[in-house]
A = this chain, B = another copy of it.
Amino acid sequence: MTAKAQRVLSELEGVCLGIIRAHQPCTAYRVRQELRQAPSSHWRASAGSVYPLLERLEGEGLLVARAAAADGRGKQLLSISRTGDASLRRWILAGTDMDLISSVSDPVRSRTFFLDALTAAQRARYIDALIERTEEYLAVTNSRLEKAKNSRNRFDYLGSMGAVKVTEARLDWLRTVRAELARKSA
């Protein structure tokens, strides 16, 4: 009823709320762990961001905290409130804007546009290194997909599948680039 808390959450706020919803009741520490093992390493999940953020969400009533019984560390168990649930839904549904969909920043692709700054030999070594690392990353996302198969939340599986499919496409593209460069220099 209050006009408060009707703001749209930031990316990190939405993700944190979602993590808590899926694992409640859990500690802020746990949220950081989940963030770090997410398919994207975009979030460093630093203490300096996560703790103040969760405190803020609690202050706004989106989270409720209770002290864990008999924990000298002052462990706080967080759960999502009814208001928090509504905020999470709004955050998800607000995610269909064009500029959000096209906002994916890809450092690898960015660099591709400027590859003529390198010598042919440098380029070849660079692409080879990229392909190797991407293969490693694909293996990581694939093993996460395997694990997600047994998740009680089927959206873990569908989300992980997205990471795999996109990584496969990236790998495919990098191999095409390599082939193209080899063709031209031969």
**Which residues from chain A sit less than 8 Å from chain B, CB to CB?**
11, 14-15, 18, 21-22, 39-43, 85, 88-89, 91-93, 95-118, 122, 126, 129-130, 133-134, 136-137, 140, 153-156, 158-159, 161-163, 165-166, 168-170, 172-173, 176-177, 180, 184
Question: In the complex, are the beta carbons of B114 and A155 less than 8 A apart?
Answer: yes
CA A118 to CA B92, docked complex, whole Å: 9
Distance in Å: Cβ of A178 to nearest Cβ of chain B: 10
Interface centre among A40, A85, A98, A102 (most CB of B within 10 A): A102
Distance in Å: Cβ of A47 to nearest Cβ of chain B: 18
Number of copies of this chain in the oligomer?
2
Out of B101, B109, B153, B177, which one reaches A116, CB within 8 Å?
B153
